[in-house]
Amino acid sequence: MQLNETALHEAVNTTLDALVGSAGEAVDPTTPNWAMRALIEISGDFDAVVSATCDEHFARSLAAAMFGLELDETSDDDVRDAFGEFTNIAGGMVKSLLPGTCRMSVPSVGDPTGVGEPSAVALLCEAAVEHEGGHVGVRVLSPT
């Protein structure tokens, strides 16, 4: 399989299903108010950046499911950790669809204003889903 929107959507939902037990519904990637971003750099035969963003509800729900907590019991550290791991797994699936041999960085996670996408990149593909009222989007970018 090659990297395209269908494959990316499948990667997002496979990751979600594994971590929280159910997949989401496709939505317009431009809709939500993103509260958190995680970036992973892929380098080697193919250079790319995986940029995952989510709203507050998705981030809290993900952390609650992964840690086995109630929504209001999740700390900010729990939320960053959980979203970083979500991005790490989805990023690994993206990497497996890229040609050649590549390496993947550990995720950088934070507020979208603090963890910004690099400039001078082209959008290769993107996918976003709604999951139990929360939203998450993943973009794969390549340096121009």
Partner 1 sequence: MKILVVDDSRAMRMIVQRTLRQAGFDATIVEAENGQEALDKTKSEKPDLILSDWNMPVMSGIEFLNALRGGGNNTKFGFVTSESTPAMRAQAVGSGAAFLISKPFNADTFKDTLNGVV
Beta carbon of residue 96, minimum distance to partner 1 (angstroms, whole number)? 7
Given the complex with partner 1, which of 106 and 122 has the nearer CB atom?
106
Residue among 28 and 45 whose Cβ is closer to partner 1: 45
10 contributes a contact to partner 1 by CB under 8 A:
no
CB 63 within 8 A of CB 82: yes
Q: What separation in angstroms does the CA of 115 have from each of 3, 64, 111?
A: 24, 23, 6
**SS3 call for 50:** strand
- The residue type found at 8 is L
For 108-127, letters b (16+ CB in 10 Å) and e give ebeebeebeeeeebeebbbb
92 binds partner 1 (CB under 8 A): yes
Residue closer to partner 1 by CB (options 21, 114) is: 21
Closer CB to partner 1, residue 81 or residue 117?
Answer: 81
Each residue 60-89 as x (binds partner 1 by CB under 8 A) or -, in order, gives ---x--xxx---------x--xx-xx--xx
110 beta partners: 37
Tell me the C-alpha distance between 135 and 42, whole Å.
24
Q: What is the C-alpha to C-alpha distance for residues 63 and 9, in angstroms, rounded to an integer?
A: 21
User: Shortest distance, CB of residue 142 to partner 1, whole angstroms?
Assistant: 19
Minimum Å distance from CB 136 to partner 1? 15
Residue numbers at the binding site for partner 1 (CB under 8 A): 14-15, 17-19, 63, 66-68, 78, 81-82, 84-85, 88-89, 91-93, 95-96, 101, 104-106
